[in-house]
Each structure stands twice: as structure tokens, then as C-alpha cells.
A and B are shown apart, each in its own frame.
Chain A
């Protein structure tokens, strides 16, 4: 960590030009390629979300037609799920930081890594191509439920092929991380000396590897049914629509943990750094990730309680769903305990982590409500569910993503953003977020179904509040992005370790050199978060 290391060219400087980026094998550059693509799609998806909120400001037809609205929420869902949230934390921050945090120079298969980004781009092109080819983007909802998805005239085939290709991108990332974690840890770093972010990615990667093939084949079955008329899911040609729902959720429920676990990993990094003390319950957090990933495989049926499921099946799926809550709540208590007797430096990344816990609690607790059979009968497919999953995915994972961006920003670019503006943007974002989604929970309890272009007059006020929330949110979002861009152009250099972190990424210079470390990093004795200056507990 001497200053002489700064003389080494960083990974931005070693090569210049477009091709040196889009064909780069450097995990850091690939991580940034993902950041720019994933970030752009997030903005597109957010714009579509705001468009929906505008349409819903008043009942009746205002801005767009019913069919367009249906296409918009489908495209919004597809973009947010497949192009933003699933790749977000693993593909951006996992790619950039996993090798560094393990003290190595790259992922196990750099070429596969590049391929998975290219598959991402190809999948994205397929998804966007529906805007120009055929009868427009799919209008089925991101779930592509049969038999409507078989019958509708919109370009479902292209949309599901996009998801199919994106699935491969995700599988390759997962495979790469599993091998990297098994084979490339720095000498002396056992599994139990890994940072918790690595643990979270490890659990996530197994889900990506094992569950994604199922959605792949299921979506191909939709294409086969549409193009060749093979009766798989449409009862009018001999298929079974419920079979589709099972196959769809066998992937898509575990996929929820692909979205959530990496975010939990981020929070488990941020909190010890800003509390300047060791994480409470390292093993509990590490193994609960595996437990969540494992139990998460067996709960998909809770998306189908009103689809005519038998009593015993409903009973089992419901009780298993509740079991997922246990390792999840253990994590929350551990984070809380990590703040206890810390020496807390309240900075923007920590605020995002705290907001994550708050939003994610609402997301998780409302998940318990819909996990209960009786309550779910009423709330299923209402705005309660829309509120619930935005709290999990956006308020949880989205906020963790922003937190990670602010946390590692000085490491990635070697610059610092304006902290005051970052705090203000955070506050606006947090208020906007809750104004946008909390009313949805109430709307759901009052009985407003989701995917509704138009609604009954009694739902008017809450919809208006929600729409106003979307405006506040967007202001916060734009301010945050503006501030991050501005920081990039500032002259002032950030120190190599502005937060006094002790995981390995803070030992190398900012931005890191091409091979990450000039000399082998030193592992912290007594575990990855054993802060040397803190008192013994």
C-alpha cells in the first residue's frame, strides 16, 4: 500500500479505444460494460414505469391505449427482471470485485465472461426488436402465462427468445463464479475467510446454474407451441396451462433469490466497513445464504395458491415459504447486531444499506402476508403484490445496487462524488420510493387487481399519491446519476481506502491495476472483518 504503486498504469490506462473495451477479457472492464448496459436498461424500464403511473393518475383512458398499456407493463417487467435486476449486482459488482476480494487477478474463465456479456447484448437486441418486428412487444405480462401467450398476436416469440438467450448469459456468469470461488482464492483464504459478498455470490451462482435451464426450456416450449402448434400448454389443443405455471415458477421463484442474495451480500460488506467492527455472526450470515438458496427451490407453488391447487400441496408450499423467512430474519438481526458497539461513520453507502434493511423488511414482511393461504386468496394478483415485489426488488436490491455504486465508486474510478448532493439525492429517492409503493399495498388490500389499465373510482386517491411518488423518485434518481457523473469529471483524486475498509479490494490502488495487485495482498488475521483497531469483544 505504498504510494509508489500509484505509478503503475491502472486498468483504464493500459489500453484505449472502443474495441479494447467490448472485447476485453479483464473482469473489471466486463463489469463496467455490464454497469453501463444494465444501468441504461434500468433507466428505460423506469421511464416505462413512470409512463404507467401517468396513465393511472386518473381512471379511464388518458395517454395510451389499453393494448399499449399491456405491452408497456410487459416490457417494463421483462426489462427490469431480465435486463436489470438479475444481472445487476452479480454481473456488475461481482465481476468487478469478486476476483479482487478473493485476492486474484481475474475470474476463472475470462473468455466465457466476455461471452456472457455478448449474450446479454444479443438478448437485449432480441427484446428490443419486438418494438419494430411483428405486432409489437408481447402483451402477456413478464410471466408469459399460457394459453394467452399462445393465442395473442403480439410478438411473444421474440420476447421469450430474448429471455432464453439472457438465461445463458446468467448461467455462464454463475458457472464462472462457482469455479472462481473454488479454485482462485488467495493462498491461505479458506471458505470461512471469504468476504460475505463472495458467499452470497456463491449461493446465487448455484441457483443461476441449476434453475435457469428450466426457464430456458419452458420458454422454448412456448415458441414451439406458437410456431408449430404443439399442444403443450393450451387446452384447446391438448395442453395444460397449469403445467406452464409450475415450470415457470420452478425457475422464477429461485430467481427471486438471484435478485435478493447478492444484495444481502452487499449490505454485509457495507455495514462492517462503516461500523468499523467485525460482522456479527459471520457463519450464520454465510450459511443462511445457502439455506435460503436451498429452501427457495421448494416454494414456487406459493405463486399458484389460487390456481386450483390441492389442499395438501397448498399446505406444504405455504409452510415451506414461511421457513424461508427464518434464515432471512437471522440476517437482519445480524446486521442490526453489527451496528451495536460499532464506531459508525454515517456515509451515503451506509444510508443505502439502512434503507435497504427498512425497505426489504417491508418487502419481506408483506411476503409473509401473501405466504399465508387465507390472506393470499384475497391479495393474490392485486396491487398488494405489486407493492410487495417492488419493495423487495427495487427498495431492496435496487437500493443495495445504489449503495454498492456509492461504496465502490472511489475504488472503481479513483474519484469521489459530492457527498452532500449524494445525501440529498438519497433522501429524495427514499421518500419518493415509499410514496410510490406504499399506497399500492393499501390499494391491494382494498381489492384493486394488478395489470389494470383502468380502475374503479374508489381507487383514485391512492393511485394519485402513488403517481406523485413516481415523480419524486425520478427527481432523486436523476440527481443521484448526475452527481455520479459529475464526480467522474472532478479533478480531485480519491484515496485508495476512503472508508478504511479491510477487505482486500481496499489494499490495491484506485483504480486497480490490470492484474489487481502488484504484490500479493495480505489477508486480515482472524477473519475478513476483524478490524485491528476495535476492542476485543
Chain B
């Protein structure tokens, strides 16, 4: 059994064209090398000026035309079913942001990796919070760009139990190659259990959970090292040089500054760091959430 319902169509078109290609590559190369020897200066001292041969030319126009139409056709038939998801597909939101995937199930469960029941069509509603991403599952032969501002979807049916890689295929900045996740295809029963299980009851500070779930830690470290943005360690009370309304000023970071930076990141930028990369979280995080985050950050000393 193939890993997904699309493997067959994709692989057929891919290997069909690859085989025809190998045939022509080998054929033409062999003939070319044969000619180099057979008609070398030594073996054929006098050349013949042959200007054309209508019969041959018609043949080698028609044959490639037929072949490419066949190639096109299998490409199309393998692709067409990807465009429309079946009505009974299970819908899951797949959210891409620098540099993290998360999957949000209808009943509110949110997970960093995708878990799906076997033999059931799944439709992913693709949401990007910042730049372009592309959700790519090589084993399933599916890929779809995740474009901010567009409601795209992709669908597939997992047909073989197992865990497969999810990669980001559209370049999305510094840690693009680390934007990885997995999809696990499980029995329906296990899926149902998984869906109702509460997320790993860890002892994490609620602020830390929020930082993890919102991909804040993709850019900000907790140990003082530099990633994309300034580290959270010793943040509160630190003196920083920022640009506000085009003017440089020196400030001491306090709670109000952090709240503002989380809600409207474009209003200030810290000198020495790229501006414009951070997503505005005003609509995503509640005031309580932000307080939790600040509370957690204040513990990072």
C-alpha cells in the first residue's frame, strides 16, 4: 500500500517521463558518440553536405509532439484530484510561521505535529502568519504553498501506518531548514484517544508554553545567545537603543515596552537587529497571555 492516495499518480507521471528521458538520453548519446568515430576525419575523409530531409524532419517533430502530450496528460490526471477535497474530509488548520508548524483540530486541540487516522481523507486549511511557507510531505508526494492572506488548502489520505517527515519547501528565512514536523498515520481508535488526551501535562510555566506555541523562541533565546532578535535573558531592566518614529533613543525595558512590542512590533525597532520580521500578536494573544509571558520572562536572569 502506498503511503498516501497521491503516491501512485505522482510516481507514475514522474517515472514515466524519467524512463522516456533515459531512453532518449542514452539513445542520442550513443548515436552521437558512434558518429564521432564512424565519421571521424580518418574514417570519412570527405564529408557530405546534407541540407535537410523532409521525411525525417516530419518524423522527429511528430514523435516528440505525441510524447509530450502523453507526458502532459499523465501529469494532469495525477494532479487534478489534488484540487478538490472530498466533502467528508476531516478539516484541520495547518499554521505556518517562522519557523514552526502547528496543527489545530476542530475541537480545539493544538499540536506541533500532525496526527491523522488511517484511510480517512484529511483536509488541511493552510494559514501563514507571516511569509510564504510550503507544506511538503515527501512520502505522501504532496506540497502546497502556504501564503499569507490566502485561504489555500491541501488534502490527502494516509494509507499506511507510520510517521513521515513534514518539511517547509518554500524559503522562509533564517531557520527555513529547521521548520520541520511530522505526520503520524494511526488507527482510528488511537487517533480518537490521542484527540481527547490533554497535551503533555508538563510543568512548564504557562508563559513558557505560550512562547513555545507562538514560535517566539524561533527568534529569541532564553540563554542570552543571539538568534534573530534579542534574547529574553535579563530583558526586563536592560538598557537598549531603539528607533521610534525615526529617532534613536535609549530606553530601559519595562513591562509597558514589552506589551507594546508584542502587540505592535513595527512601532519600535532595536538597533542592530532586523526590523519588520516580527509578527504582530495583538489579535493572537490576550492581555492575560501577555502578562503570563512577562511573568515568565522576568524569571530569566
How far is A276 from B277 in the complex, measured between Cα atoms in Å?
61
A306-B144, A336-B35, A377-B141 known; A329 vs B64 contact (CB < 8 Å): yes
Cβ contact within 8 Å between B48 and A373: no
How far is A537 from B56 in the complex, measured between Cα atoms in Å?
15
Task: Flag whether A361 is at the interface (Cβ < 8 A).
Answer: yes
Nearest residue in A to B12 (C-beta to C-beta)?
A374
Cβ contact within 8 Å between B13 and A375: yes
> Which of A152, A308, A534 neighbours the largest number of chain B CB atoms within 10 Å of its CB?
A308
A365-B21, A374-B14, A535-B48 known; A148 vs B132 contact (CB < 8 Å): yes
Contacts of A368 in B (CB 8 A): 17, 21, 68, 71
Contacts of B9 in A (CB 8 A): 374
A356-396 interface (Cβ within 8 A of B): 357-358, 361-362, 365-366, 368-369, 371-382
Contacts of B69 in A (CB 8 A): 319, 322
Cβ contact within 8 Å between A235 and B36: no
> Which of A240, A325, A344 neighbours the largest number of chain B CB atoms within 10 Å of its CB?
A344
A314-B79, A326-B64 known; A280 vs B130 contact (CB < 8 Å): no
Contacts of B21 in A (CB 8 A): 365-366, 368-369
Task: Flag whether B52 is at the interface (Cβ < 8 A).
Answer: yes
Nearest residue in A to B171 (C-beta to C-beta)?
A451
Q: Which of A145, A354, A365, A452 contacts B25 (CB 8 A)?
A: A365
How far is A305 from B267 in the complex, measured between Cα atoms in Å?
37
Cβ contact within 8 Å between A531 and B49: yes
Q: Which of A278, A325, A373 contacts B49 (CB 8 A)?
A: A278
Cβ contact within 8 Å between A319 and B72: yes
Smallest CB separation, A85 vs chain B (Å): 21
A343-B44, A372-B75 known; A381 vs B134 contact (CB < 8 Å): yes
Interface size class of B (residues with CB under 8 A): 35 or more
Q: Which of A148, A282, A380 contacts B172 (CB 8 A)?
A: A148
From A180-188, A410-418, A441-449, A470-478, give the one contacting chain B: A441-449
Cβ contact within 8 Å between B25 and A336: no
Task: Flag whether B191 is at the interface (Cβ < 8 A).
Answer: no
Cβ contact within 8 Å between A277 and B49: yes
A333-B60, A381-B169 known; A357 vs B138 contact (CB < 8 Å): no
A315-B76, A452-B177, A531-B47 known; A135 vs B171 contact (CB < 8 Å): no
Contacts of B273 in A (CB 8 A): 153
How far is A377 from B17 in the complex, measured between Cα atoms in Å?
15
Contacts of A483 in B (CB 8 A): none
Contacts of A369 in B (CB 8 A): 14, 17-18, 21
A151-B131, A330-B61, A372-B74 known; A339 vs B177 contact (CB < 8 Å): no
Nearest residue in A to B177 (C-beta to C-beta)?
A452
Cβ contact within 8 Å between B35 and A67: no
From B26-34, B88-96, B110-118, B230-238, give the one contacting chain A: B26-34
Smallest CB separation, B39 vs chain A (Å): 5
Cβ contact within 8 Å between A342 and B25: no
A322-B72, A357-B28, A452-B177 known; A153 vs B275 contact (CB < 8 Å): yes
Contacts of B147 in A (CB 8 A): 241-242, 307-308
Nearest residue in A to B25 (C-beta to C-beta)?
A361
A447-B167, A451-B171 known; A372 vs B13 contact (CB < 8 Å): yes
Cβ contact within 8 Å between B173 and A152: yes
Contacts of B178 in A (CB 8 A): 454
Q: Which residues on A are within 8 Å of B, measured CB to CB?
A: 66-67, 70, 135, 139-141, 145, 147-148, 150-154, 235-236, 240-242, 275-278, 280-284, 305-308, 311, 314-315, 318-319, 322-323, 325-326, 329-330, 332-333, 336-337, 339-346, 354, 357-358, 361-362, 365-366, 368-369, 371-382, 445-447, 449-456, 527, 530-531, 533-537
Pairs across A and B, CB under 8 Å, 29 listed: A66-B177, A70-B171, A70-B176, A141-B171, A153-B275, A241-B149, A277-B50, A280-B52, A280-B53, A329-B60, A333-B60, A336-B28, A339-B39, A344-B41, A358-B32, A371-B71, A372-B72, A372-B78, A374-B74, A377-B82, A378-B138, A381-B136, A447-B138, A447-B167, A456-B180, A530-B49, A535-B48, A536-B48, A536-B49
Complex A-B, nearest 7 residue pairs according to Cβ-Cβ distance, in ascending order:
A153-B274, A447-B138, A374-B78, A372-B75, A235-B149, A373-B79, A537-B50
